[in-house]
Amino acid sequence: MGAYLSAPNTEKSSEDGENGRLRFGLSAMQGWHVNMEDAHAAIPYLDNTRSFFGVYDGHRGKVVAKFCARFLHQQVLKQEEYSAGDVGTALRKAFPRMDEMMTGQRGWRELAVLGGGYNQFDVLVEGVIWSPIRDPQDEEDWAEEEGPHSDFRGPHSGSTACVAVIGENQLVVANAGDSRCVISRNGQAHELSVDHKPMLPAERERIIHAGGFVRGGRVQGYLDVSRAIGSKEFKSSIYLPPEEQMVIADPEVKTVEFTDEDEFIVLATDGIWDCMSNQEVVEFIHEQLQHEGKLSLVCEKVLDRCLAPTNVGTGCNNMTMILIQLKKPEQSDEPSDVQSPASVEASSLTES
């Protein structure tokens, strides 16, 4: 949805990196859309044992996608279950935690900082930061504060979220919305996430039970995903818990044990999947890898392949893609010029 430009913005934000277990490349492009509302996180060192990658597709504004790119992986790390090795449960708790964090004075203020001035419809406002900015890592600061926006219940803008946590032998994928994760296993595409669309029977049943309706494949005739972070107007029933609202932030989680046939993982927003099937993306990447060693350039070629020739139809959306290539055992001992975890995180958590 939204207005389109008269000519596409094809400037790309691209990045490459690696660690001992994997290497990755990513690229993001605004395209025909009048605004760039995607964001991403690429963190090869979430801790000493795992990596984190995520794509976030904003709707009705960019700030929730940027909020998720900045904070979601931090919340995964904070969960007790993560320390105990239960990554799936940590992810299930971290997604709805984003909604909790975006309420009240502190949430309003952080959204304002990320958006350069913010209200519930993502427009500039005066007097955005009225009190001192505190360390965003300080968990206690998320408690409700007194002030003119202490009753802020959350943003009307929202974002899908599809993330992958990669360990030595295991991949855990969590998804809410219609961004997607696919793994190439011996040249075959295997989908590791479900597109949460309002017409799916279980999603439609929840929407109706919450007092909503589905029209034209959209919640209340507007939102074309049934799960998202943010989007407060679809989560406003005071009689229902968060997991029973019309739109929910709860992710579906899938855990996969790696095999010797696993080659690479693709995380991408729906701007890619609207134009190419899972198998088409995998085959296109395989073809490009025969000639191109830099993974970000492979991603750029996928984006160019999906870009529509005119601002009509599919191929007009924002596009973000992360390609993660798994190193074979003989590759893992090769020297790497990877950045330190701190520097990689600082460079990766920006608007795409």
- pLDDT tens digits, 95-136: 999 999 999 888 988 998 898 765 544 444 444 433 444 555
Tens digit of pLDDT for each residue in 202-251?
999 999 999 999 999 999 999 999 999 999 999 999 999 999 999 999 99
* Residue 135 in domain: no
Quickly state the pLDDT bin for 33 (edges 50, 70, 90).
Answer: very high
Q: What is the pLDDT of residue 338?
A: 40
Report pTM.
0.89
Is position 120 within any domain?
Answer: no
Inside any domain, residue 41: yes
Q: Which of residues 335 and 148 earns the better pLDDT score?
A: 148
DSSP code per residue over 293-344: --HHHHHHHHHHHH--SSSSSTT-S-EEEEEEEEPPTTTTTS---PPPHHHH
Asked, for residue 275, whether it belongs to a domain, the answer is yes
Residue span of the structural domain in which 281 resides: 4-102+154-347
Strands 214-215 and 262-268: unpaired
Helix, coil or strand: residue 155: coil
At 331 the pLDDT is 53
Q: Specify the amino acid at residue 245.
A: Q
326 occurs within a structural domain:
yes
Helices 87-101 & 63-78, crossing angle to 10 degrees? Answer: 130
Could you tell me the CATH number of the domain that includes residue 37?
3.60.40.10
Residue 140 lies in a domain: no
pLDDT tens per residue, range 38-69: 999 999 999 999 999 999 999 999 999 999 99
Q: In angstroms, rounded to a whole number, what is the distance separating the alpha carbons of residues 289 and 263?
A: 11
Task: Calculate mean pLDDT across residues 277-297.
Answer: 96
As a whole number of angstroms, the distance between CA 166 and CA 258 comes to: 10
Residue predicted with more confidence, 153 or 269: 269
Amino acid at residue number 59: H
Domain contains 117:
no
Number of domains making up the chain: 1
